[in-house]
Structure 1
Amino acid sequence: MKFLVVFTLLFATAYASPVLFQRQLEVPVLADELGGRITNGQTASEGQFPYQVGLSLKFSALSSDWCGGSLIGSQWVLTAAHCTDGAQSVTVYLGATVRTSPEVQITVSSSNIIIHSGWNPNTLKNDISLIRISAVTYSSRIQPVSLPAISSSYSNYVGATAVASGWGLISDSATSVTSNLQYAYVPVVPNSVCSNVYGSSFVTSSNICISTTGGISTCSSDSGGPLVDTASGIQIGLTSFGAADGCTKGYPAAFTRVTSYLDWIKSNTGISH
């Protein structure tokens, strides 16, 4: 099934029910919905984000959508469950800065998609999935992103600066994904900032939260794309949901917290750090 998620926070007195972005979750801001795309960002240069992946998802003969993802190994892409849920096939774009000009393009069927068994589209829990592709050769434009090391404790990354990237909508008035890869530097904030807006039933310890001061945020069709700690180059999140009222309204955005799923990733891919 398809979900529409837009980052938007509305000032209200009661929690709003979350919703997925267009291939991004939308959660009501104490009364609205969410979404995901890079708004008020910058245009990436060639090879700046060699781990960035574009996903063209086919749901039926007449239905398709776009999401982001990250290359975590020569045969594995990490993305959001709400992106791949219901997909019949997915075409993976690697090494692209201009969206339609990838260095490598690979199409796989739904049998190559692994959605977390705990994925719940009603609560937005466990919004994570994997895509197995044929082995890709690394180049200056195609490189895997580093994942956090499996350990007994992790930083919560609060106060860190992270970078989000994707081809999603670049404004709330945009009607289609952008041609050129966009990115934005965003601050990680306590999860309470998101839970105060979307409610603690949607925002849990397996999420990571950013503020979107100045309307700098992810937005629709950025879903599944990477959030990378700029200090370490480690992927700490993947775009999950935001406010349905709009991506440039200043509401916080929520990501799936990668450190919560390292064992799951390792058990399915063998990848660990």
Structure 2
Amino acid sequence: MRITHRLAAATAATAALVAAGTGSAMADTASPGIIGGSSGSSPYIVQLVFGQSGGTYGCTGEAISSQWVLTAKHCIDGTNWMDVYYSNSVTNPGTPVAADRVVGSPSGDVALVHLSTAKSVSSYAPLASSYTARAGDTGTIWGYGLTAGGAQPTHLNKATVNVVGSSRDAYGGTAVHVKGQDGASNHGDSGGPLFVNGVIVGVCSTGDVADPGSDIHAGSNYANLTASRSWIRSTAGV
């Protein structure tokens, strides 16, 4: 049986975001980062900073419309405020948009964040209609989490992963089990996307080990969006 852990952590990068001006009212948990991989840019992969259990945490999310962001459910459970940053820079995140509502899917570690003010971007996250995990598939993961050895990220990162098969997420829902090819998820990447064939099939939920260190081949489990897809449509209209 694999040992799994939620990819969540309070980081110095999160503290820097708070100092830069977080503090609205809403939301929950944390996020993992990318070990290895490379820097990337996206108009819709966002940084989430929120208050939960007496601390401040960070996760990754995907803007699916001008008012809704997709992330992991453990990033919204027990959260009392959340801010959303659209800059791909962690050190210069820009001005946040406050969340005013968060809702969790009835199926697994999937959630939606509603913005208090609409934020338009050049394109929005493309979601798969369904996906069945197939060993041998190749995917791409993105996130704002810790890098190798627990170092703080400065920018959005991405890595190539190999699909191993199906597994379970932090809430017992169906997940896609992946192993890093040139990089792996780490604390701070929770809620970040897994792309297969150009569309998002899952969001980062747990890691196979508590501390992946600098292992670019570490395994993780991405909550499969399939069971939540109709719920996302009915809630966010996407």
Q: Normalised by the shorter chain, which TM-score bucket?
A: 0.7 to 0.9
Provide the rounded CA distance (Å) in 2 between the counterparts of 1:247 and 1:203: 25
Q: Given that residues 109 and 170 in structure 2 are in contact (C-alpha distance below 8 angstroms), is that contact kept between their aligned partners in structure 1?
A: no
Provide the rounded CA distance (Å) in 2 between the counterparts of 1:202 and 1:59: 17
| Distance change (3 Å), C-alpha of 1:66 and 1:159 | same
Q: Which residue of 1 aligns with 2:33?
A: 37
- Greater gyration radius: 1
Q: Given that residues 70 and 110 in structure 2 are in contact (C-alpha distance below 8 angstroms), is that contact kept between their aligned partners in structure 1?
A: yes
Provide the rounded CA distance (Å) in 2 between the counterparts of 1:205 and 1:19: 15
Matched, 1:211 2:176: no
Q: Which residue of 1 aligns with 2:210?
A: 244
Provide the rounded CA distance (Å) in 2 between the counterparts of 1:169 and 1:114: 26
Percentage of matched positions with identical amino acids? 28
The equivalent position to 2:89 in structure 1, one of 81, 98, 118, is 98
TM-score normalised per structure 2 = 0.79
The equivalent position to 2:49 in structure 1, one of 51, 56, 63, is 56
Root mean square deviation of aligned Cα: 2.7
Matched, 1:156 2:156: no
Q: Given that residues 79 and 128 in structure 1 are in contact (C-alpha distance below 8 angstroms), is that contact kept between their aligned partners in structure 2?
A: yes
Moved over 4 A (4+): 200-205
How many angstroms does 1:57 deviate by? 0.8
How many angstroms does 1:21 deviate by? 2.2
SS of alignment partner, residue 246 of structure 1: coil
Q: Given that residues 37 and 247 in structure 1 are in contact (C-alpha distance below 8 angstroms), is that contact kept between their aligned partners in structure 2?
A: no
Which protein is richer in strand relative to its size? 2
Q: Which residue of 1 aligns with 2:200?
A: 235
TM-score normalised per structure 1 = 0.70
Q: Which residue of 2 aligns with 1:31?
A: none
Structure 1 gaps of 5+ residues are: 1-14, 25-34, 119-125
Deviations 1:10-58 (A, max 9, x none): xxxxx3553322259xxxxxxxxxx8320011112xxx32220100111
Q: Which residue of 2 aligns with 1:122?
A: none
Q: How many matched pairs?
A: 215
Which stretch shifts more, 262-271 or 243-252? 243-252
